[in-house]
Structures are given as C-alpha cells and as structure tokens.
Structure 1
Amino acid sequence: MKKILFLIVVMFVAYSCTKEQYRAPSISGVNTDTIVLNIGDKIILAPNITNLKGNGYTWLINGKQAAAGEVNYTFEAATSGDFTVTFKADNKGGTDEQSFKIFVEKPIAISLNDQLSVSMCNVIEITPTVSGPERSGFEYEWSIGDSIIGKQNNLSFISPAAGTYVLNFRAIAGKQSATVSRTITVKPEQYIRNAYMVYEYAPSPGKNHNWSIIGSADGWKFGDEHPLSYNEFLAKATEIRKEDDAAGLFIGSWGGSATFKFDHTVANAPGKPDLEIAGTYSRLDPPTVYVAYDRNKNGKPDADEWYEIKNDDYGLEDMPDYAITFTYDSTTTDAKRIYTYFDWKDNQDSAFAGQILTNKTFTSAMTYEGTFSTRGFFPGLNMTNINTKEVAILDGWKSSFTRKGKRITKNLTGIPPFFQKLNIDIDLAVNSKGESVQLPGIDFVKVVKVVYPIEQDFINAGGKIVDYNMDEGRMLQVSTILDKTLKN
C-alpha cells in the first residue's frame, strides 16, 4: 500500500513539473499605431515575451515567413506599401502572436523641365510635377544660391538682370525630401525705367487746375499744355514721358487719379523698395498707390488685379465710399476777361456742394507762343477759337463725371506740398480685405489722391462755400515713376 501511494505522489509531482515547464508564451510591447517609414529606413522590432521555456519563434510579413528562431527582427523598407509583420511564439504549452503595422511611404519624385529660359523683366511660370507620399502638408522651397525665392509648389520667376542662374527646387514630406536643380537662362532686353505710358487720366478739378499740362506746373507759359481729345492726350503724354521721365501730370484735388504702364514687368525684389514715385504733395498728404500685375497677359489691368500698397495712412479712412460729382456749368466773357464755372457736390446725406469760378484776363492767360492757356478750365475744356471766344468740351472728355474712393480727412493747416520722392515696396501690397499678397512683379501703377482737408478748412466767403480741397496749393502732381530694380 505504501509503495502504491509513493508512486502516485511521484507521478503527480512529475506531471506538475511538466505543465510548469511548458506554460504558453505571452507577447506584449507591440504598439497598435502604424509605423511610418521611408524607403531605405530600418527598424528593429523587439516585442516582450514571458514564459520562454521551449519556445519557437517565427516572423511573417504579409503572411509569408521572413525569419525564424529570432526574438528580434530588423525590418528594412525596400518598397512602398502597407505591411503586416507578425511575430509568433509557441511551445508545448500553447501559442501567441502579435502584429506590427508598417506603412512605407512612396519616395518623392520630381519632374521639371530641363531647359528653362525667359527674357529679363518677364515672368515665367514654373510648375514641377511632384509625386510621392499620399499625405497633406508638403513643403516646398525654391532657391538660388543661399537666397530663398519661393515657398510654393509653383514659382513665378522673374529677373531684372540677364544671366544664367542655377535654380534649386526642394520638396519635403515628413522625414523625406528631394531636390532638383535646373539652369535658367535670362535673356537681355532693353527697357525704359520710367512708367512712361499713360493708360488712364482721371483728374479732379479745382482752382487753377491745369488738366492739359504735361510737364511742370509753370510749364504752361512755355507750351507744356496740350489741350487734346482724351485719347490724343493719352498718346501725347505717353510720347513726351518716354523722352522726358520728369514730365508730370496734374492729378488735382481729392479723387483724382492717373494710371501708368511700364513697358516691362517690374520685378518684386525681396526686402527693398521696387518703385520710386516723384511728385508734389504734402508730407501729411501722400498719394495712395495701387499696383497691378497683368497675370492673364491681356495688356490691361483687370479689376481683380489691383492691390493697394499699404502705407502709414492705411486704414485711416473715415469715409470708405466717398464720391464727388463735378459738372461743367458755363463760360462767359467780356472785353477783357473770361469766366468759367463748374459745380461740385458730394454723396453724403447732408451733402456739401459748391461752385468753382475761374476768371482771368485774356492777356494773363496767353502763353509765350500766343496760345490760350487751359489753366483753371474744367478737364477737357478748351477755347477752340480765340477770336470768337468759343469754348468746347473736347472729344472723349465729359461735361459731368464722378470721382469715387476712400477719403482720409486730416488737418493740413501749415503743411504745404513740395516736390519729393516716395519709395514703394511691392511686398506691401494687400487685397481688398487687407490681406498681404505675393506678387512676382507689377505692370501698372495707379496714383490716387485720397486725403481731404478737415471741415474747418471750409470757409464761408460771401455766402458761398469755398473748399480748401480744391485750392491750387493742395493739388497733387505726379512725374517720374521709376523701376528701381532695373539697372540699365
């Protein structure tokens, strides 16, 4: 009996030891997040294992055995795609398995034209084809040497200087990047630095306003006046400004403007002024400048291509939608004098209105060449026959017109206008919402008078309102508009 009992105890102990020795393995330490790799990356997969006795190990990639007998496995990203790397551990006590999820991104590939060329001061649109990872958040960088010139997929390239440049394009996605380099040839051209072409002329009149002047304010005595039809005046102003970049135009009182065109695109040079505008204005009465890039190359500034250059007065307008309507009334003469009347009225609920009278003797209105001066006449008005004293509105001009825009009201007392230069940086261009815009360059410049004297400058003279805004000493004149980036 004792022998039988001893045998049972021995068998029980032996059985118990066998079960302990082959307890089923347990795998842990496998993150459920997908591991993202790039081509060429390597990663060591090292799970944690408990119950090691008698274990066998197998590694499978997408169901196919990749290794056996190893606790750790080095996965090398040789091709792109999704991979399930499964680790199995088994012994006589049981089996366990866990899987790593791995995604290998496609490599970045860039396709870009091998031959790039453009004339100086012209824009070439360069758009490489970029393929690779299916992800958002690509980053791009264009550079020449150490200078970063763009951070978008496409590049609007322009250079004001001829030469050969090495253009680098880099695409970045996550941890990977790719770079290509191309040579771009900029061909030489001859341009005029001044925006000599007058595209549009819309002056606002006032006392002794000289709408037909192309030159200096005193040049009327020397024949700088050109009373012509509207289109002929634009052509004449363009002709003269091409030869003489200082030949100015009178913009006049509030709301007056002129639009000028370059014979090339002015490059936007990063970090420095691109334009220099010379004119006569007060330091508290700078003109507002708008610029346009002819993106669609139709030769005109479309409405959606205009951007304002942000200056110290930006956002100070107290009347964003102000307007004044000017209307020619009449001209009368006597034996010695000529009297010209025009009316004006603004668009406010309690409207300001008035009448400007210009009267001058015939002798004081004659140039040295013996022609009658248009100084003080309504824009487009001229004495067509000095003998009969006949006056007329010339073709293309209007006897009534409205000037619209924003109005910035200031006290300009004691701050006279003088000839000065205004630097313009295209990088300060903003859209109608005040958001900065990135322009490769500009083709058109519009100069507008927006500052208006405060109401205390309205005085009552003999029962009539006299508007200081339309005083001769407050009128804006613009002459040179130079491309500062062009060196030839």
Structure 2
Amino acid sequence: MKKRISLSYTLFAGLLFLISCSKNNSPLLPEITMDIPSQGYEVAAGDQLSLVAQASNADGASYRWTSNGQVVSQEQTYNFSSDVPGVYQIGLNVATAQGAASTQFKVTVTSSPYITKVFEYQYGPGQHASILTTSESNNLVGSPWADGKSFVHLGGWGGYIVAGFDHKVKNRDGYDFAVYAQPGASSEPGVVYVMKDTNGNGKPDDGNWLQLKGSEYDNAETVHNYEVTYYKPANGGNVTWEDNQGNTGELVPNYGTDSWWWAGYGDKTEVNFNGERLPDAYVNTSTNDSTENWALGDGLFAWGYAETYNNQDYDTSLKANRFDISNAVNADGPPANLDGIDFIKVQSSVFQISGWLNEVSTEVSGAADLNMLDNAN
C-alpha cells in the first residue's frame, strides 16, 4: 500500500515539474522599459530630441515610431525635431516573433518666434543718451510693440545690441528672419551680424560675428574693419573722436552743445567701437543756404540693412526688414555657408550728423524667425 502511495506521489511531482518547465520555456513577449517622464518630453523648436527604444525580451525586434499617427522611423533610435511649436503624440511599437508591445507619450515643442534674450547693449554717443533707461534693451524681447513696448535706440556710429532666439533659425530658401524697424519714415541703416551656437552653451561666444552682406558691401565708400574711439567731453564741450583711418573730429549737435551726449558712460573717459562704416546716408538737397532738406542718397541701401524703408526687403505689413542667412560672409568676404543661426547683432553703421536730423542712428524693435512666424499666423 505504501509503495502505491509513493508511486502516485512520484508521478504527481513529475507532472508538476513538466508543467513548470513548460511554463518556463514559453515564449516571452517584449516589454518596453523606457523611463518616460509622466508629462512627456519638452524640447525647443528646432532642437533635436534623441529617443532610444529600450525593451526587454527584444532579441531580433523591429521598431516603429509614429508622430501624430504618421510613421516617422523604423530604427531603434528616433531623432525627433520640429520647427513648429505644439504637442506631438509619439507612438512606439516593439515587435518580435513572440508578439509586440507599444506605448505612447507626448513631446511638447515650446518656443517663441521672437527674440527671447538680450546679452549686451551699448549705446553709441548721440542725442538720446540722456533719456535712456536701464530697461531700454527689453524693448527688443518678444512681440514688437506689445504691452506698451517701444524700440531700442542704438545711437551714433558703433552703438549695438546683441540678442538671441531660444532655437536655431534655419537657413532656408529666401528670407529667414526679420528685424523690426522703429517704425518711422527716415532710413537709418544698421548692419546685421549673425552667429551660430556651435558649442551649444546658449551664449554668443562662438568666434567672430559674421556680417550679413548688404547692397553697399562693395561700395567704394564703405569701410570694413572700421574703428572709432569717442572721448568724454571736457568742460561741457562736445564729444570728440578719432578713428583707425587717421581722422579726428567732434560730434556737434544741431542744438545743445554740452556733454549730455555722453550720458550713460559715467566716469569712463573713452569708449571704443568697431564694425563696418557704411557710406553717408543723407544729402542736403536744398538750394537755399538758409534751409536744409535732407534726403536719402539715390541708389543706396537697396537691401540688407536694418531700419531701411522703401527698399526691396522691407515688409510693410510687418514693419520690418527681412534677411537671408545665405548672405553671411566671413571676414575676408567669401560666403560663410551657415545652416542656421542662434544670435544676432545689430549695429548703427552710418557715421554722419545730418543737420537738424542730428546723428544718423539706427532704432530697432525686435526680431523674428520668419518660418515660425508664418506657422504661428
């Protein structure tokens, strides 16, 4: 009797062992193990987000990524990028011979088509020096003229502002970005420079600024690599200057001759600027010695400069001049061949006092990535 019980027990234990082995040897389904944030991912427009599919039991697996229902990749790694802000529904499917697993999550593309940060602002000596405030440069950030914002005075020759976008402005066919004018009626041309964030640190410290070539780049009166040092007035006189061409002079306003043109420089005894000097912009066309009639010189500044009106790149609806990144040139003139830019510098570039107009001084109200602006509108 005991032998029969023992035999039955042995048979039962063997059966359990076989069942256990059968379960342990059954094909295992893939399981996605990616550590996905509960709110999904966030990325700035134009930047790349590298998504790597991670799954267990995935030997020989195939992968399929979708964005808003459209298949975008069949590789294990999907590099997501979009220039258009919004929420994108990303799907991942991992399939093996034993079965498949899938998941979905959001990628939010956040960005602004406009300037988001000013890095440096330096006013060039001129008639508005005494009215500037510490918040002047904020007028360049965000949508132009919103919330009571005005514009930024750059002052006389050399004054500049350095600012950046929160994404890369890509070099596409045609115009890529715009720089908003005052707006006004009198052109006061400024040269625009660009820089790419090559080292990815979010700062404009990636080598030399690259000039966007304009219509006067090869003009015989244009001076490349121009430099001016301005000197603090003595005894309430005028600001004096000397340049790297051996010239000297003084800034003589049409009204007021005291040192208020030096306001903002405090105890500094001199300030220095360098860049490109454009030809004089204005000509006194009056035939009467007792009157002045200042007019923009014929055939000048047809394209490629900030705050120029009635030329081929001025958009009357935007009240802005439009720029093509393809016009960026290296210091010695050849094309820089940039695929995109992150930072801009706008500089007052005409060194002229035109009678009652006083100094020719560029004013700007912001800048925008035209591709994003088109999509936003």
TM normalised by structure 1 equals 0.45
2: CA distance between counterparts of 1:480 and 1:405? 21
CA distance in 2 between partners of 1:412 and 1:194 (Å): 31
Q: Is 1:415 paired with 2:295?
A: yes
Deviations 1:392-419 (A, max 9, x none): x17xxx3311112222324521435876
- Listed as ranges, the gaps of 5+ residues in structure 1 are 1-116, 127-154, 166-184, 214-224, 227-232, 333-339, 362-373, 382-392, 454-466
% identity of equivalent residues: 22
State the alpha-carbon separation in 2 of the partners of residues 378 and 256 from structure 1: 13
Partner of 2:243: 346
Q: Is the 8 A contact 2:156 2:361 kept in 1?
A: yes
Q: Which amino acid aligns with 1:124?
A: Q
SS in structure 1 of the partner of residue 367 of structure 2: strand
Q: Decide which of 249, 267, 270 is 2:172's aligned counterpart.
A: 270
Query: Structure 2 CA distance, aligned partners of 1:212 and 1:188?
Result: 45
* 1:322-355 deviation per Cα after TM superposition (whole angstroms, max 9, x unaligned): 22211112465xxxxxxx6322222323x23125
Instruction: State the alpha-carbon separation in 1 of the partners of residues 230 and 215 from structure 2.
Output: 29
Q: Indicate the RMSD between aligned Cα atoms, in angstroms.
A: 4.0
Cα pair 1:282 1:415 within 8 Å, conserved: no
- Tell which has more relative contact order, 1 or 2 (C-alpha 8 A, sep 6+): 2
SS in 2 for 1:377: helix
Q: 2:41 aligned with 1:123, yes or no?
A: no
Q: Which residue of 1 aligns with 2:17?
A: none
TM-score, length of structure 2 as denominator length: 0.56
Q: 1-side partners of 2:355 and 2:334: how far apart?
A: 31
**1:481–1:376 Cα change, 3 Å:** farther
Aligned residues between the structures: 258
Instruction: Give secondary structure in 2 for the equivalent of 1:427.
Output: helix
Q: Hey, what does 2:111 align to over in structure 1?
A: 191
Give the secondary structure class of the aligned counterpart of 1:329: coil
Give the secondary structure class of the aligned counterpart of 1:444. Answer: strand
- Asked if residue 399 in structure 1 is aligned to residue 303 in structure 2, the reply is no
One-letter amino acid of the counterpart of residue 123, structure 1:
D
Q: Deviations over 1:76-127 (max 9, x none)?
A: xxxxxxxxxxxxxxxxxxxxxxxxxxxxxxxxxxxxxxxxx9824243399x
Alignment map for 1:326-337 (pairs within 5 Å): 326-330=230-234
- The 8 Å contact of residues 282 and 354 in structure 2, kept in 1 or not, is answered as no
Question: Could you tell me which residue of structure 2 aligns to residue 211 of structure 1?
Answer: 129
Alpha carbons 1:160, 1:266 under 8 Å: kept? no
> Which string of whole-angstrom CA distances, capped at 9 and with x for unpartnered residues, describes residues 245-268 of structure 1?
333111122222211122x12431
CA deviation string 1:329-382 (max 9, x = no partner): 2465xxxxxxx6322222323x23125468769xxxxxxxxxxxx99431415x
Aligned to 1:107: none
Structural mapping, 1:55-454, within 5 Å? 119-124=43-48, 159-162=83-86, 163=88, 187-206=107-126, 209-211=127-129, 225-226=132-133, 233=134, 236-237=135-136, 239=138, 241-242=140-141, 245-246=144-145, 247-262=150-165, 264-268=166-170, 270-280=172-182, 286-302=189-205, 304=207, 306-316=209-219, 318-330=222-234, 341-349=238-246, 351-356=247-252, 376-381=260-265, 393=266, 398-410=268-280, 412-413=282-283, 414-415=294-295, 420-453=319-352
Could you say which residue in structure 1 is the equivalent of 2:5?
none
Cα deviation, residue 320, structure 1:
1.9
- In structure 2, relative to structure 1, the CA distance for the partners of 1:156 and 1:472 (3 Å cut) is farther
Which whole-Å deviations, capped at 9, do the CAs of 1:41-61 have from their partners, x for residues lacking one? xxxxxxxxxxxxxxxxxxxxx
* Equivalence for 1:87: none
Cα shift at 1:430: 2.2
Give the superposition deviation at 1:313. Answer: 2.0
Give the conservation status (yes or no) of the 8 Å contact 2:228–2:242: yes
Structure exhibiting the larger radius of gyration computed from Cα positions: 1
Q: Which structure shows the bigger proportion of residues in strand conformation?
A: 1
Relative to structure 1, the CA distance from residue 192 to residue 379 in structure 2 (aligned partners, 3 Å threshold; closer, same or farther) is farther
| Residues 348 and 375 of structure 1, relative CA distance in 2, 3 Å threshold | closer
Give the conservation status (yes or no) of the 8 Å contact 1:342–1:357. Answer: no
Gaps of 5+ in 2: 1-40, 51-78, 91-104, 284-293, 297-306, 310-318
CA separation of 1:267 and 1:354: change in aligned 2, threshold 3 A: closer
Contact 2:85–2:109, Cα closer than 8 Å, also in 1: no
